Structure 1
Amino acid sequence: MKPPAPAAVGVLLALALLALIHLPPPPDHSLLPLPASSPPGPPREAAAALRLERDTPPWLSADDLQKMWLLSSGQVISKTRVPAHGQIMRVRLRAVGDATGDAKEDVLAASPEGDCQDGRCGLIKRPGDLYEVLAFHLDRVLGLNRSLPAVARRFTSRLLPYSYTDGALRPIIWWAPDLQHLEDANNDQNSCALGWLQYQEMLQPHRPMPVARDAPCSSIPHSEWSRLALFDFLLQVHDRLDRYCCGFQPDPSEPCVEEMLHEKCRNPAELVLVHILVRRSAPSRLVFIDNAGRPQHPEEKLNFRLLQGIDSFPAAAVATLRSGRLQSLLLQSLRLDRELWESQGGAEGLRPLLRTIDRRAQILLRHIQEHDLTVFEDSPH
């Protein structure tokens, strides 16, 4: 047999490290780290890769695992503040054991522009955004595949301010280098400008005329909005489709009230959608960002406006919701994130949150049945 190519060995090493970092603990809750001075040889790499293949849920792709490994263990080699987002930091990461790219990365780290084009950056968010990690796993369990990989992590890098290294657990989200933003500085969190009334018109199943190619968001098919609505309803994410909180009575402390946005609900022509993003490499697929949602949002205030105009939902996601296995599948997936798992008290600590998501799923299924809505088969892409 020919010896394995260096690239193949590198991939196996990455998988082996990921397996050892993220696999659930043995019964005594110990984790046996690899000796730093003696990296594993091919037989041990192969064993770790086989174990990973057996234990990793099928809804997480090899690309997901690679990005999760980078986010969870990569060394922070530079940082950049994100304009207008004071508590969020973009960092460049160096993968563990990647010595070949050190010189190039050092040059990139010194450059404020263009240093994340190779996909080796992450966005460190606030501790209160930790539910973004749950949202990522929910997205993958349901087969939507529109969220960016996310893990929970504690940071120790001296490059970061103390508030980032005080031991608090924070989510770090993979930074997609080709997100498409509008050039308008006041509306740069969108790939296309879309108002609520335009959005509702797009969703009409029997429009007399098709959407013009130059109309806002015309490259985004109906099925994408269905995925987004389903996802946002389960998490109660209001900021995309209903940032004005028009679909429920908000508390006075809600940002939509403090920023006097809720008052605009009286005039639907003033309402716009936010965080409607696509990647330049896939302009017909939405990218879901800022997905922490509202796990404590009361059931009597569920925002059904998020579902307005949606007449069908993805069949695979609906089947998962109907299976009665949503909680167990999420536990299987979340177990891979050791930091999140242990910080939340494992399965028992996570169950109240997962029961909330499952309860919303049952309400959504009842909504589908009562309104005689349909499901559609997912396209291969």
Structure 2
Amino acid sequence: MAQRPWRRIGLKPPTPAALGVLLALALLALAHVPPQLASSAPGPPRDATPAAGALACSEGLREPPAQPRREQPHVRGRRRRRAAAGDAPPWLSHDDLQKMRLLAEGRIVSKTRVPAHGQVLRVGLRAEGDTAAASPEEECRAGRCGLIKRPGDLYEVLAFHLDRVLGLNRSLPAVARRFTSHLLPYSYTDGSPRPIIWWAPDLQHLEDANNDQNSCALGWLQYQDMLRPHAPTLGAEDAPCSGIPRSEWSRLALFDFLLQVHDRLDRYCCGFQPDPSEPCMEEMLHEKCRNPAELVLVHILVRRSAPTRLVFIDNAGKPQHPEEKLNFRLLQGIDSFPAAAVATLQSGRLQGLLLESLRLDRELWESHGGAQGLRPLLRTIERRAHVLLRYIREHNLRVFEDLPR
């Protein structure tokens, strides 16, 4: 019988313990082979992805990593066009963008106090290449003026973007800006962002010094009469605001409800129980709610160039107004709403659309901490939108299509 090799040379067979030591030394030597030598060894490269089955087995049946989706050519083209247009969303017109740029970057060349409006300043603005105007009034008549308001009015910028996202297009362009001009008082240049709103040169004001924030004098009872389906023919010359169609009031009511702007349709706070700090309480206006004949509307304005279209001003509203105190009086008498705006509210995309729009206002975006800081405000608007949609369903209200502009 043939002998084993170690018997021929007189060696004893290795013990199991010795075999274990030898195997451990061999594995240790392999672990210290230089990478260059290891990579030259046959087999798959070191960074090769394991087969899907092996990956699932070794990592608890985890799905293999998804391959990146290839962007379709039409999507790439749309992104390129958006980038070429400054990444502006389609609801902001070219005119909007021009005015926003003037407000954000225009050099301040004059300032004027606005009577009876406290901390509001009207400033003349000049973009690069603009010729100097003969006077501050001439600057404003050329459409190169803005109103600087208080830091607490920054929500007017949010209101402008909400107006455009909903397709209402009744607010004046507004941006946030930090001011450094030596022409301004120190309180305006302390580093706090303030809203600046484009000054429309042809806003129509009443000549009455006590009522110059209206284009027409309108009481609450007259307003409710105008909203009735069988109201007298619009355009009757003896009726105030008679040239403004009912659809305009529908836009205003929807906008004011989402922002809870009381100081327009309900400056007396008749639609909710106000806190003692509310202006309507401090000025003892709330007491007039007992007599509807004494109630009047304010900030009802049109432009001479478009006398049938309302202009929404002073739109900061009350973002912190509690949901249990929402003012439904703002909707009283309204029996229909614009279809495009309602569709946007129903889409579930309101927050995303507003973030896309607000991203263009770098000062507002950064001062509020970007998307994370703005989301609480936008969630409030969205919750009010849900309440409004429920109100529309419960009252079986209609929607109307907007006529082409």
| TM-score normalised according to structure 1 size | 0.84
Q: Tell me which of 31, 42, 56 is aligned to 2:88.
A: 56
Identity, in percent, stands at: 82
The alpha-carbon deviation at position 210 of structure 1 amounts to 5.5
Opposite residue 124 of structure 2, the aligned amino acid is R
1:55 alignment partner, SS class = coil
Counterpart check, 1:131 vs 2:155: yes
Is 1:87 the equivalent of 2:119?
yes
Match of 1:242 among 244, 261, 266: 266
Is 2:235–2:243's contact at 8 Å kept on the other side of the alignment? no
In structure 2, the residue matched to 1:74 is 106
Superposed displacement of residue 206, structure 1: 2.3
Structure 2 partner of 1:205: 229
Q: 1:53 offset after TM fit, Å? A: 2.1
Structure with greater Cα Rg: 2
Residue 54 (structure 1) shift:
6.6
Task: Decide whether the 8 Å contact of 2:178 with 2:193 is kept in 1.
Answer: yes
For 1:266-281, what aligned pairs fall within 5 Å after superposition? 266-281=290-305
Distance 2:149 2:279 in 1: 18
Q: How does 1:248-267 map to 2 (within 5 A)?
A: 248-267=272-291
Whole-Å separation in 2 of the counterparts to 1:83 and 1:216: 25
Runs of 4 or more consecutive aligned structure 1 residues displaced over 6 Å after TM superposition: none
Q: Shift in Å at residue 189 of structure 1?
A: 0.1
Partners of 2:231 and 2:403 lie apart in 1 by 23
Residue 134 of structure 1: CA displacement? 0.1
Distance 1:208 1:127, change over 3 A: closer
> Which residue of structure 2 lines up, in the alignment, with residue 340 of structure 1?
364
Listed one character per residue, the Cα deviations across residues 198-251 of structure 1 (whole Å, up to 9, x for unaligned) are 000000012366562331001100000000000000000000000000000000
Q: Which residue of structure 1 lines up, in the alignment, with residue 400 of structure 2?
A: 376
Distance 1:81 1:114 in 2: 16
Distance 2:306 2:161 in 1: 21
Q: CA offsets per residue over residues 96-144 of structure 1, 9 Å max, x none?
A: x21x51xx33x324xxx44410000000000000000000000000000
Give the residue type in structure 1 aligned to 2:88.
T
**Distance in 2 (alpha carbons) for counterparts of 1:297 and 1:244:** 16
- Which residue is 1:224 aligned to? 248
In 1, Cα distance between equivalents of 2:367 and 2:328: 32
Query: Per-residue deviation at 1:56?
Result: 1.0
- Three-state SS of the structure 1 residue aligned to 2:356 is helix
Q: Which amino acid aligns with 1:343?
A: S
Q: 1:142-168: per-residue Cα shift (whole Å, max 9, x none)?
A: 000000000000000000000000001
1:313 to 331, 337, 343: 337
Is 1:349–2:360 an aligned residue pair? no
Length-normalised TM-score, structure 2 = 0.79
CA RMSD after TM alignment = 1.5
Please give the alpha-carbon distance, in whole angstroms, between the structure 2 residues aligned to 1:83 and 1:380. Answer: 38
Distance of aligned partners of 1:159 and 1:359 in 2 relative to their CA distance in 1, 3 Å threshold: same
Question: 2:236–2:242: 8 Å Cα contact kept in structure 1?
Answer: yes
1:71–1:150 contact (8 Å) kept in structure 2? yes
Stretches of structure 2 that go unaligned for 5 or more consecutive residues are 1-79
- 2:207 alignment partner, one of 183, 192, 196: 183
C-alpha deviation, 1:379, in angstroms: 1.2
**How many positions carry a matched residue from both structures?**
327
Aligned partners of 1:84 and 1:114: how far apart in 2? 22
- Equivalent of 1:116, from 122, 140, 143? 140
1:52: how far off? Answer: 4.1
Counterpart selection for 1:329 from 345, 348, 353: 353
Instruction: Give me the whole-angstrom Cα distance separating, in 2, the residues matched to 1:164 and 1:87.
Output: 9
> In the TM superposition, what whole-angstrom CA distance separates every residue of 1:153-195 from its partner, at most 9, and x where no partner exists?
0000000000000001100000000000000000000000000
SS at match of 2:392: helix
Distance in 2 separating the partners of 1:247 and 1:214: 29
Larger RCO, structures 1/2 (Cα 8 Å, 6+ apart): 1
